[in-house]
Amino acid sequence: MTTDTTGTVARDGESRPGGPADSPFIRACRRRPVPHTPVWFMRQAGRSLPEYREIRASVPMLESCRRPELVTEITLQPVRRHGVDAAILFSDIVVPVAAAGIDLDIVPGTGPVVAEPIRTAADVERIRPITRDDVSYVDEAVRQLVVELGDTPLIGFAGAPFTLASYLVEGGPSRTHAKTKALMYGDPELWHALCGRLAEVTLAFLRVQIEAGVSAVQLFDSWAGALSEADYRRFVLPHSTAVLSGLATAGVPRIHFGVGTGELLGAMGEAGADVVGVDWRTPLDVATGRIGADKAVQGNLDPCVLLAPWPVVEAEVRRILEQGRAAPGHVFNLGHGVLPETDPEVLTRVVALVHELSSRRADQG
Ligand code: CP3
């Protein structure tokens, strides 16, 4: 018997029916029947929200990630406003790397900038293993959030080794990832040492979040689509597998996401994901054919569509829900993060529309 997870608000215990583990989001990740297709948005915490901008006006990005009360408030903002089916922890993929001893900053309008890029074996040694004490602010924020969120699941996340390596080797964002690839092709031994070290940091960071109570984790390999499948399998897959398979018995669904990864979807599933994130370039039914029927999919509205007139948005949401029916589980999302210029009211309308179009009465199965 399934419990109606939409109406009950019980916050007093962990293992009750209707808690986060029984939410539509977690059920979809596990390919179980759902009362409606769950929806959340990558980069929903921040970006387009005026209430976020107000908080951030006087606090630099990395500092806001290290203050548990701010992390908690920013993480809750999109849940309150949009009624999304999951919260994502407010943090950044470079937070654990900074905790591991690398001097970096997140520069407004640019992204992460690394003071001394990693280019040699001695540089790799500067990336220390991390423990819970190094990221105690994340531990604390997650524990607070789990209480505040009640039945709504919290998604923890980390950057995958390739995407982190790209920032560390380039020193900042890069369109071509040229220095990263030069190191990868030119010195495979050093490359594997770097990614092995980053996989350890990432795994430790995700374990801290899981122990503190997140209900699912997402591994962001945002820039993996820059690689051919052969190179992905040789240079990246072993390291992302080390992270995801290291969490196989942790009891939470694992989502694996990248952009421009149409050719890599099968391999990204093989890395040990329960859910594979798909960008807008690959229709979800085609993606399911590549990923296989033993995994759920997440996606895949083009974030730019949200800037178009509502009838266009509505038609695209309908198409994606229809194509998502080919998958054994579908979590509605964007194909990449919310753009800062997005009207938050459109996001709220999309959540309501996804819920309305996908609602199933329990007797319909
Ligand atoms: O999803 C969420 O809402 C949770 C928070 C989150 C942030 N970054 C907050 C953030 C998450 C999940 C990330 C992940 C992240 N960070 C990724 C992977 C996801 C993706 O979009 O591909 C990457 C590549 C980064 C690195 C990074 N951090 C970039 C490229 C930027 C953009 C710089 C800019 O000005 O647009 C950031 C900064 C950042 N991370 C912001 C937020 C809310 C904006 C900072 C600000 O408001 O000043």
Specify the pLDDT at position 350.
98
Neighbours of 51 (CB within 10 A): 15
The answer on pLDDT for 156 being more than 90 is yes
Average of per-residue pLDDT across 135-163: 98
Longest dimension (CA), the chain: 62
The answer on pLDDT for 148 being more than 90 is yes
Contact 172, 164 (CB under 8 A): no
Specify the pLDDT at position 18.
79
Active-site hit among 56, 126, 128, 349: 56
Mean pLDDT, the chain, as a whole number? Answer: 94
Specify the pLDDT at position 234.
98
Using a pLDDT cut of 70, give the percent of the chain over it: 94
Neighbours of 102 (CB within 10 A): 23
10-19, 65-74, 77-86, 108-117: the lowest-pLDDT one: 10-19
For the question of residue 105 being annotated catalytic, the response is: no
Protein residue closest via CA to atom 3 of ligand 1: 43
- Cα 106 to middle of ligand 1, angstroms: 9
The answer on pLDDT for 362 being more than 50 is no
Specify the pLDDT at position 1.
31
Phi/psi region, residue 31 (left: phi>0; alpha: psi -120 to 50; beta: rest), is left
What is d(CA 63, CA 91) in angstroms, rounded to the nearest whole number? 10
Active-site hit among 16, 30, 43, 281: 43
Average of per-residue pLDDT across 177-190: 98
Contact 241, 269 (CB under 8 A): no
For the stretch 46-99, pLDDT in tens is 889 999 999 999 999 999 999 999 999 999 999 999 999 999 999 999 999 999
Protein residue closest via CA to atom 22 of ligand 1: 222
With the most atoms of ligand 1 within 8 angstroms of its CB, the residue from 65, 75, 90, 92 to mutate is 92
5-9, 70-74, 80-84, 211-215: the lowest-pLDDT one: 5-9
Neighbours of 88 (CB within 10 A): 24
Specify the pLDDT at position 171.
98
The answer on pLDDT for 7 being more than 80 is no
Confidence bin at 360 (pLDDT 50/70/90): confident
For the stretch 242-262, pLDDT in tens is 999 999 999 999 999 999 999
Please state the pTM of the whole predicted model: 0.94
